[in-house]
Structure 1
Amino acid sequence: MSRTGKKPVEPVSGVTVSVDGRTVKAKGPKGELSVALMDNVNVEQTEQGLVVSPTDDSAEARAAWGTTRALIQNIVTGVSTGFEKKLQIQGVGYRAAMQGKDLKLSLGFSHEVVYETPAGITLATTTPTEITVSGTDKQLVGQVAANIRDYRRPEPYKGKGVRYLGEFVARKEGKKK
């Protein structure tokens, strides 16, 4: 039994959720999102909210049960409050700046890296060493943050690079004489 799947997706004020065939759509103050349902699960609307249930007792249906409920919860949260990831840059001369809607990164390369902001994402630099990625789609926010981090991952000797805010980087001892 899925503990996550058993809980209904509770309604949020200002968000309208509709089930249209095999698609769940959520519309709120931050925009509109939808998720396609897998064939292994059913969704019905009740007074408690949206209730997800598996179609049968197969392993695939039970696995899809909790996943589908989490995806529906993510679109409801996304259109009501949105999602945000913060990145931190460490290293001498490493910095970020906004260039219009795009992000310009100086990460120790011979050239500056320009990251084009995808649709539905807002990038901001509060300080030259902090980047905020925000948007309504949780998967897209995480993917954009991971793409920016991949330009220069934190290295284990000095810890220089782009990391998530609060991320622990395991440090190694340097070479000895």
Structure 2
Amino acid sequence: PVRPPEERPDWALTGAKGREPNIITSLYLGAENLERVNLRLQAKLEEIAANEVRWKEYSTEDADLLLVAFGTVGRICQTVVRDARRAGMKVGLLRPITLWPFPSARIAELAEQVRGVLVVEMSAGQMVEDVRLAVEGRCPVRFYGRMGGVIPLPDEILPELEELDAECR
């Protein structure tokens, strides 16, 4: 990396008053230097994971079954929760807002409460493995996904939920 000269005119803007300058590089020579950089990055990642994870819940307080869906599908699943509850099923929704950091701890807590989890995505299942890792086998995790821009509809998702409900009884 190219570093500016040590002596800078007092009028020069450095953007780094009170901290080290940000130097974009992937090459850190020397084991101690590399370890120091990695420890700093690990601390930064832990802070982000602790402070930036975001999600919304919908009707999870008494849920027996949990839907997990993000983005557009998360909004669609709110309709599924409403329709399922009208049909007598106790269904809740966790809608991740951040996918990293992922709301693993909250999903793990809800997995203690529910009998099964249905992950709904507009993909081949990029989030379902994160949910399975969070659930850690506490209850069955099933997946329903549509791809290529096909939007899963509430009347497609509800039968999947009913099947999961029957399986978990």
**TM above 0.5:** no
Q: What TM-score do you get using the length of structure 2 for normalisation?
A: 0.29
Higher strand fraction (1 or 2): 1
Q: What TM-score do you get using the length of structure 1 for normalisation?
A: 0.28
